[in-house]
Amino acid sequence: MAEEINFYNAGAALNDVDTLNVDALRLLYRLECSGEDFYNGVADRIGDERAAELLRQNGREEMSHANRLRRAIVIKLGHDYEPADEDLVRFPAPLPDEITVDLLPLIVQGELDGDAGYQRWADHEPDPEVERLLRLNGREETVHAERVDQVIAILNGATGESP
């Protein structure tokens, strides 16, 4: 039986891709849209409103990443592009019922890996505007990691543990 494609393995499928063609950009577009759902799901389960707002901010910015990728697709195609129905279907992001602080370093690492991936793709991108969009998305992935580090600090402060 084939494994269901979800947020996690869709992202992993891009790990070995060095050059983003239109199909890879469409997958990445869908993944970034799904990132909004992922962050909202984590925020809903975190149990601290200050921490949840930081996570929701990351989710909103994931949609900004998707919009930049849509612009990159337009550039690659050379004409306007509206996402196809299948591009609008978000990947499920299974989460535990409760999010604890020990899960958050994995999210930090995922965001840092996301920045590295975007920089690798930008390094192989011949179009300067697409390269710029990819680098901008990558830098913001590191900002997301920093926000999740802030969430860790908030939660450790709430529990009295040291970060």
Q: What is the pLDDT of residues 47-91, one digit of tens each?
A: 999 999 999 999 999 999 999 999 999 999 999 999 999 999 999
* Residue 23 domain-assigned (yes or no): yes
* Residue 66 domain-assigned (yes or no): yes
- Tell me phi and psi for residue 6, to 5 degrees: -130, -175
> Domain count of the chain?
1
What is the 3-class SS of 101-147, one letter each residue?
HHHHHHHHHHHHHHHHHHHHHHHCCCCHHHHHHHHHHHHHHHHHHHH
Reported as a pLDDT band with limits 50, 70 and 90, residue 160 is: low
The contacts of residue 160 (CB under 8 Å, 6+ apart) are none
Q: What is the pLDDT of residues 12-56, one digit of tens each?
A: 999 989 999 999 999 999 999 999 999 999 999 999 999 999 999
- Whole-angstrom distance, CA of residue 43 vs CA of residue 49: 8
* Residue 62 domain-assigned (yes or no): yes
Helix, strand, coil share (%) of the chain residues, nearest 5? 75, 0, 25
Does the pLDDT at position 163 exceed 60? no
* Residue 2 domain-assigned (yes or no): no
pTM: 0.92
* Residue 43 domain-assigned (yes or no): yes
What pLDDT, on a 0 to 100 scale, did the predictor assign at position 4? 84
Residue numbers of the domain that contains 61: 7-159
Kindly report the CATH number assigned to the domain that includes residue 59. Answer: 1.20.1260.10
* Residue 144 domain-assigned (yes or no): yes
* Residue 1 domain-assigned (yes or no): no
Does the pLDDT at position 161 exceed 60? no
Q: What is the pLDDT of residues 112-158, one digit of tens each?
A: 999 999 999 999 999 999 999 999 999 999 999 999 999 999 999 96
